[in-house]
């Protein structure tokens, strides 16, 4: 069937932006004060607003989500092994390795692609100090089982919550589970501050440690107590975050409508698997993952057919982290067979607030033809 390409390339995501005048109006005080970074007025205001929105008592802002996770791990003074999942973005494992820790990969479950809690305990040794589970595509991990297992073994739990901004589980903010969580505010996320991230955490004593680590270890003008780095969020990022926070709930509602449209068109089709929705979760509809398992066209063919119409889906996550070249010889993808299989069959389809419903229908038509 012949059809016209969209008027512009359709990417897997597109950054949501506030009205330009609203953002530029916020920049005027920055020009007047020339205070552009180093925890200025917008940095402080953004942190307060986020604590309320995310329902967390403790929060620290960072230049990006990766730095938030890396410094969280450092602040907890972990050692030995950390159990995580290979079905994630590179940042998750890199943050562990860059702290001198050894990642131990647990497989995922085949339903929602989060860490398989039934396999988790078999990987715990006397060298295990923490678990870093990943909420994938907005699917929240089995937080209750993870908490129970970690409690019995005396392990820290730090969630990679980059995909779950604004989500709740039984009405409780997703960042309130475990000892800590990392959120990413990268431009591709449901909510963004251009670049940026935050660590939310249970123990208030982590706050000064994280603040110190992100500011070179400086505690006073003439005092440097630790070896830190530069992980500070600047005022322009914070201003964008403040603006976008006003609109994020509306953006999520638009995403939900598109996700439901995809589900109506693709749900129930033989060989196409969609993630089941958990009624206990309020989702943010960050991603639209589709697994092609026994469908008459495989994932790579559908990827190519969409690309021919300038529609750019994403093989997310492929390959698994334990199959990266930089970890060659250290890990084996064969140890996590479910993650390996899903990575070869999953495609995340375009979804963002401004995506036209007609494009969603076009995507579904190409898949279903």
Dump pLDDT digits (tens) for 247-284: 999 999 999 999 999 999 999 999 999 999 999 999 99
Q: Which residue ranges does the chain devote to CATH 3.90.1150.10?
A: 248-368
Q: Is the pTM of this model over 0.95?
A: yes
| pLDDT one-digit tens code per residue, 110-164 | 999 999 999 999 999 999 999 999 999 999 999 999 999 999 999 999 999 999 9
**What span, in angstroms and rounded, lies between the C-alpha atoms of 324 and 333?**
9
Kindly give the residue spans of alpha helices, DSSP state H, lying in the chain.
20-33, 41-54, 65-75, 90-97, 117-120, 143-153, 206-214, 235-245, 248-266, 299-307, 337-345, 357-368
Nearest in space to 232 (alpha carbons), one of 18, 30, 38: 38
- Class of CATH domain 248-368: alpha beta
Which residue spans of the chain are classified as CATH 3.40.640.10? 20-245
pLDDT attached to residue 1: 62
Task: Answer yes or no: is pLDDT of 298 > 90.
Answer: yes
Supply angle C-alpha 135, 141, 143, rounded to 5.
Answer: 130
- The second-level CATH assignment, the architecture, of 20-245 is 3-Layer(aba) Sandwich (3.40)
């Amino acid at each position: 069937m012949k059809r016209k390409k969209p008027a512009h390339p359709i990417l897997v995501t597109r950054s949501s932006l506030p009205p330009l005048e609203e953002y530029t109006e916020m920049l005027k005080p920055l020009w007047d004060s020339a205070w552009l970074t180093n925890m200025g007025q917008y940095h402080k205001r953004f942190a307060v607003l986020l604590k309320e929105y995310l329902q967390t008592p403790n929060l620290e802002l960072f230049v990006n989500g990766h730095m938030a996770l890396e410094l969280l791990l450092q602040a907890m003074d972990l050692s030995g092994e950390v159990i995580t999942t290979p079905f994630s973005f590179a940042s998750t494992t890199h943050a562990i390795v860059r702290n001198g820790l050894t990642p131990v990969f647990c497989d995922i479950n085949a339903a929602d692609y989060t860490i398989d809690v039934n396999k988790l305990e078999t990987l715990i040794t006397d060298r295990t100090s923490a678990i870093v589970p990943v909420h994938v595509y907005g699917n929240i991990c089995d937080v209750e089982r993870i908490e129970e297992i970690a409690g019995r073994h005396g392990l820290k739990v730090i969630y990679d919550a980059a995909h779950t901004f604004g989500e709740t589980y039984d009405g409780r903010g997703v960042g309130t589970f475990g000892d800590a969580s990392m959120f990413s505010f990268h431009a591709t996320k449901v909510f963004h501050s251009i670049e940026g991230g935050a660590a939310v955490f249970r123990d208030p004593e982590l706050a000064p440690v994280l603040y110190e680590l992100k500011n070179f270890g400086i505690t006073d003008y003439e005092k440097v107590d630790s070896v830190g780095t530069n992980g500070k969020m600047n005022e322009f990022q914070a201003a964008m975050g403040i603006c976008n926070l006003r609109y994020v709930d509306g953006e999520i509602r638009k995403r939900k409508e598109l996700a439901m449209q995809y589900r109506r068109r693709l749900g129930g089709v033989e060989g196409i698997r969609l993630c089941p929705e958990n009624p206990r979760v309020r989702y943010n509809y960050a991603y639209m993952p589709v697994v092609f398992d026994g469908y008459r066209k495989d994932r790579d063919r559908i990827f190519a057919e969409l690309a021919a119409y300038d529609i750019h889906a994403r093989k997310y996550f492929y390959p698994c982290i334990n199959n990266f070249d930089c970890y060659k010889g250290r890990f084996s993808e064969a140890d996590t067979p479910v993650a390996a299989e899903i990575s070869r069959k999953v495609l995340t389809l375009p979804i963002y607030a401004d995506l036209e419903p007609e494009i969603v229908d076009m995507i579904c038509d190409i898949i279903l033809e």
